[in-house]
């Protein structure tokens, strides 16, 4: 099975994440997409994160009912900080029957050389890059196992969602209805 690995803080998950994931499954040949909720990103040290279990609960609420999506706490049991190479190594050990495809934004691709064991990540893994405004990628210069996908872009950030909710804004259409309901429950 071809499985996309969409790893992130999902702080919280929003319709931009879901629309991209839906596109990758329906138009880019992924059989499943796993949302790996990351406890802490090495590049986001000090970021205010909602509790791990709440972020995982929100992802579960958002993906419920769509058979190609899966919420995962796989990285919760890995050493921290969580590095992508370690996650992919462990996934391959735990699920040898699957072929994994790392999903990253073009913004991350621009700084990919700084990732922990970037050379090994490139040599041993398939990578799908989705476009982000302001971060162009020349598809003709990509390594063999790296592919730029032509997905639509929705510029919604989790920071925008959190700040909007904190200031009392109604941002229900930026979130899956069950996620919005959970975040606004008194």
Domains identified in the chain and CATH numbers? 2-184 (3.40.50.620)
Higher pLDDT, 130 or 82: 130
pLDDT digits (tens, 9 = 90+) for 146-184: 999 999 988 899 999 999 999 999 999 999 999 999 999
Q: What is the pLDDT of residues 10-25, one digit of tens each?
A: 999 999 999 999 999 9
Task: Check: CB of residue 125 under 8 Å from CB of residue 102.
Answer: yes
Tokens 């971060």 found at: 135
What pLDDT does 18 receive? 98
Angstrom distance (rounded) from CA 145 to CA 123 = 8
158 sits in the region (left: phi over 0; alpha: psi -120 to 50; else beta) called alpha
130 bridge partner residues: 105
Position 10 scores a pLDDT of 97
Strand partners, 34: 5, 70
Supply φ then ψ for residue 140, to 5 degrees: -75, -15
- 35 touches 6 (CB < 8 A): yes
Q: Which residue has the tokens 């997905």?
A: 151
pLDDT in tens, 46-71: 568 899 999 999 999 999 999 999 99
Q: In angstroms, rounded to a whole number, what is the distance separating the alpha carbons of residues 104 and 120?
A: 16
C-alpha–C-alpha distance, residues 64 and 31, integer Å: 16
**What is the reported pLDDT for 183?**
96
pLDDT at site 161: 97
pLDDT, residue 32, reads: 98
Peptide bond into 166 cis (omega under 30): no
Which tens digits make up the pLDDT trace of 89-148?
A: 999 999 999 999 999 999 999 999 999 999 999 999 999 999 999 999 999 999 999 999
pLDDT higher than 80, residue 43: no
Distances (CA, A) of 155 to 20, 74, 86: 11, 27, 29
pLDDT-derived band at 80, boundaries 50, 70, 90: confident
| Helix intervals (H) in 42-149 | 52-63, 84-94, 106-110, 118-124
């Amino acid at each position: 099975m071809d499985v996309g690995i969409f790893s992130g803080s999902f702080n919280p998950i929003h319709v931009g994440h879901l629309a991209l994931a839906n596109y990758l499954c329906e138009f880019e040949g992924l059989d499943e997409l796993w949302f790996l909720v990351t406890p802490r990103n090495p590049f986001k040290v000090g970021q205010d994160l909602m509790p791990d279990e709440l972020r995982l609960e929100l992802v579960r609420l958002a993906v419920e009912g769509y058979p190609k999506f899966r919420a995962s706490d796989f990285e919760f049991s890995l050493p921290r900080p969580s590095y992508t190479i370690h996650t992919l190594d462990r996934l391959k050990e735990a699920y040898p029957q699957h072929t994994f495809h790392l999903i990253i934004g073009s913004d991350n691709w621009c700084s990919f050389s700084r990732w922990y064991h970037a050379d090994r990540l490139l040599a041993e893994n398939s990578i799908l890059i989705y476009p982000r405004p302001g971060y162009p990628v020349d598809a003709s210069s990509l390594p063999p196992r790296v592919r730029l996908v032509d997905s639509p872009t929705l510029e919604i950030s989790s920071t925008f969602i959190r700040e909007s909710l904190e200031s009392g804004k109604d941002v229900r259409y930026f979130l899956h209805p069950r996620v919005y309901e959970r975040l606004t429950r008194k």
